[in-house]
Amino acid sequence: MKTKVIKISRTDFIDVEFKETAKAIKDGKLVAFPTETVYGLGANALNAVACDAVFEAKGRPHDNPLIVHILHPEEAEKYADTKNEPLFFRLAERFMPGPLTVILPKKPIIPDSVTVGLSTVALRCPNHPVARKLIELSGVPIAAPSANLSGKPSPTTAEHVIEDMTGRIPYIIDSGACDVGLESTVISLKNGVVRLLRPGYVTLEDLREICPKVEVSEAVLNNLKQNEKPESPGMKYRHYAPSAPVTMVKGKDRDVLEFFKIELKKGNGILCFDEDKSLICDGKESDLVISFGSRSDQLAQANGLFDALRRFDSTGVEKIFARHTASDHLGLAISNRLLRACAFDQIEV
Ligand code: TXA
Ligand code: MG
């Protein structure tokens, strides 16, 4: 299949630029598009065959449901049962449009291909102007997982999507880098109880301002035991991972950096903060030491993490050691992704 890449400015576009891609979505074809979190691989959410094709293109396991993207929270009622969950609208008022996904009981209009037969559906209103225009002009809700091959880090630039999806889908919209760089916060809402299933840019601290009693799923920071059923199926897979195995290294900063120096000498890859780089390399440059943001800037870390993980694939390293990070605010999402990238392999030095 030939893949057409269409550049559309994030801020300055006209409707006609979406002519082909909006029609493609409506007609059941796949289009990768930018959101404020990561690039999504979109399909008409009301078309079961189109949604099946998403799983095919990504190599996604058939037990991992898709998020449905809509324009306004008021439309949620068409696809999910919001009547019994007044908290949905309070959360929506504060966080939508934006990087928050809410899981609610689904209505029959959403095909089983989207929800893999679950009784719930995940809904999100993205705030990226290009994503919103695509939803508006296609005239249908868009089901979209992240536009990476299953298991790879989510794509935060069109180049990442091109790397993974060329030849597999007909269209990629290129609007440059995503703002956040990590996927949306996923919560479930049931009988007025909010549970955090996947941390993201909307933090636990943010959610607790609206709803003081947010529960946190075990799977956010812990490995699931064998045969344990995850609340969010995506949480059971090794994810966000480069080809080489990653190990997370904990300990006092000085000890961690000493350990990194030794591993670098053995030819292993190091994932660290910007400030660590020159200390690990003794002021020299090394392609094997890749940083993902400043120690003091969590948004920069979120922005840089997936690109940094992808960059190891061209280094040919056999092992990667990553530093641990703080787990407050946006740090919870960063730690959650790092823990999955290393499949919970951690050592203490
Ligand atoms: O930021 C994002 O959320 C991006 C952009 C494209 O919107 N999308 C994204 O989708 O990250 P995906 O498919 O990579 O991750 C969706 C997560 C998975 O962990 C999936 O298991 C979970 O949401 N999920 C979706 N529907 C669910 C449901 N009904 N019940 C439980 N978990 C669900
Ligand atoms: Mg994904």
96 with 125: CB under 8 angstroms?
yes
170 with 1: CB under 8 angstroms?
yes
CA–CA separation, 1 and 203 (whole Å): 40
Amino acid at 222: N
Average pLDDT over residues 127-140: 98
List beta partners, residue 247.
Answer: 321
Quick one: DSSP state of residue 230?
P
Decide whether any atom of ligand 1 lies within 6 Å of the 45 Cβ: no
In the prediction, which pLDDT does 44 show?
Answer: 98
Percentage of the residues of the chain whose pLDDT score is greater than 90: 92
Decide whether any atom of ligand 1 lies within 6 Å of the 183 Cβ: yes
Decide whether any atom of ligand 1 lies within 6 Å of the 144 Cβ: yes
Among 16, 64, 65, CA closest to 45: 65
Among 159-168, 237-246, 294-303, 319-328, the least confident range: 237-246
pLDDT band at 252 (very low <50, low <70, confident <90, very high): very high
Residue 222 in this model has a pLDDT that exceeds 90: no
Decide whether any atom of ligand 1 lies within 6 Å of the 65 Cβ: yes
CA–CA separation, 25 and 170 (whole Å): 11
CA–CA separation, 21 and 23 (whole Å): 5
**In 74-169, where does DSSP find H-type helix?**
76-79, 87-95, 112-115, 129-138, 158-165
List beta partners, residue 195.
Answer: 188, 215
Higher pLDDT, 226 or 303: 303
Cα four-point dihedral sign 83, 88, 94, 95: negative
CA–CA separation, 301 and 141 (whole Å): 31
Question: Closest Cα to atom 19, ligand 1: which residue?
Answer: 234
Crossing angle between the packed helical segments 298-311 and 330-341, to the nearest 10 degrees: 20
- Ligand with the closest atom to the CA of 35: 1
Q: Which residues contact 37 (CB under 8 A, 6 or more apart)?
A: 99, 126, 178, 179, 180, 181, 182, 183, 184, 200, 201
Calculate the average pLDDT of the chain. 96
Q: Is the peptide bond before 97 cis (omega within 30 degrees of 0)?
A: yes
Average pLDDT over residues 311-333: 96
Decide whether any atom of ligand 1 lies within 6 Å of the 184 Cβ: yes
Rg (CA), the chain: 20
- Ligand with the closest atom to the CA of 181: 1
Q: Which residues contact 90 (CB under 8 A, 6 or more apart)?
A: 210, 211
Decide whether any atom of ligand 1 lies within 6 Å of the 41 Cβ: no
Q: Which residues contact 286 (CB under 8 A, 6 or more apart)?
A: 264, 280
Question: Closest Cα to atom 20, ligand 1: which residue?
Answer: 234
